[in-house]
């Protein structure tokens, strides 16, 4: 099974939270962390990473926080995952460094490349807006969102 790292999962959850806010104002890392029961210090680092990648805008000051840098429909899950975890490769033979030591004898590189490309295409076609549930949402008794994994890819 291919799994996202917790950091990538938390990043997707945070962007989903920001996309759900109707007013588009900035929200603190603390607010997001409390809503999803995410460790605040870890989330703060993730949000800084996403801001450096240009997916979030950071606002300083007493009413500061983070906001999406563009529409939720324009930010893909792939962009978020790549910003946090780096390039997505399902096997060590498919890397940015080229071929592995077994390249001349390997019979599965091409099928694995196709799987890797399919996963990349799937995540590139999934926007943050797509993560927002309509109608029956995952909320606790208080009405606050309940944390949990957003994306799991079983192979």
Residue 145 has pLDDT above 80, yes or no: no
The phi, psi pair for 149, rounded to 5°, reads -65, 140
- In the chain, alpha helices (H): 6-20, 29-36, 40-52, 77-85, 109-124, 128-131
pLDDT in tens, 58-85: 988 777 899 999 999 999 999 999 999 9
> Taking every pair of C-alpha atoms in the chain, what is the biggest distance, in angstroms?
60
pTM of the model: 0.77
Decide if 138 is inside a domain: no
% residues pLDDT > 90 (the chain): 52
Question: What is the structure's pLDDT at 98?
Answer: 60
Specify the 3-state DSSP secondary structure of 145.
strand
Decide if 68 is inside a domain: yes
* Residue 15 tokens, joined: 């962007």
CA–CA distance, 35 with 32 (Å, rounded to integer): 5
Which helix (H) or strand (E) segment holds residue 34: the answer is: helix 29-36
pLDDT in tens, 11-24: 999 999 999 986 76
Question: What is the structure's pLDDT at 95?
Answer: 56
For residue 24, count CB atoms less than 10 angstroms from its CB and return exposed for 0-12, middle for 13-18, buried for 19 or more.
Answer: exposed
Residue 149 has pLDDT above 50, yes or no: no
Question: What is the structure's pLDDT at 81?
Answer: 95
For the chain, how many structural domains are there in total? 1
Decide if 29 is inside a domain: yes
Instruction: Establish how many alpha carbons lie within 13 A of residue 117's alpha carbon, considering only the half-sphere containing its beta carbon.
Output: 6
Question: What is the structure's pLDDT at 101?
Answer: 66
The winner for highest mean pLDDT among 91-95, 116-120, 144-148 is: 116-120
Decide if 111 is inside a domain: no
Residue 147 has pLDDT above 50, yes or no: no
CA–CA distance, 93 with 123 (Å, rounded to integer): 21
CATH of the domain at 45: 1.10.10.10
Decide if 16 is inside a domain: yes
Decide if 55 is inside a domain: yes
Decide if 39 is inside a domain: yes
The answer to whether 50 and 83 are in contact (CB under 8 A) is yes
The answer to whether 60 and 105 are in contact (CB under 8 A) is no
* Domain with 27 in it: 6-87+127-131
Residue 28 has pLDDT above 60, yes or no: yes
pLDDT in tens, 100-143: 666 677 788 778 888 888 989 999 999 999 998 754 444 443 44
Decide if 107 is inside a domain: no
CA–CA distance, 27 with 31 (Å, rounded to integer): 6
pLDDT in tens, 33-60: 999 999 999 999 999 999 999 999 998 8
């Amino acid at each position: 099974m291919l799994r996202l790292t917790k950091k990538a999962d938390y990043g997707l959850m945070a962007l989903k939270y920001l996309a759900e806010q109707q007013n588009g104002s900035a929200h603190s890392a603390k607010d997001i962390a409390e809503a999803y029961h995410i460790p605040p210090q870890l989330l703060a680092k993730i949000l800084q990473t996403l801001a450096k990648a240009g997916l979030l805008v950071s606002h300083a000051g007493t009413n500061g926080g983070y906001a999406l840098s563009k529409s939720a429909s324009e930010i893909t899950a792939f962009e978020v995952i790549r910003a946090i975890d780096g390039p997505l490769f399902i096997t060590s033979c498919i890397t940015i460094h080229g071929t592995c030591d077994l390249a001349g004898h390997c019979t599965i590189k091409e099928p694995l490349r196709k799987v890797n490309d399919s996963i990349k295409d799937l995540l590139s076609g999934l926007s943050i807006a797509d993560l927002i549930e309509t109608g029956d949402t995952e909320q606790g008794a208080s009405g606050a969102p309940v944390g949990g994994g957003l994306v799991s890819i079983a192979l």
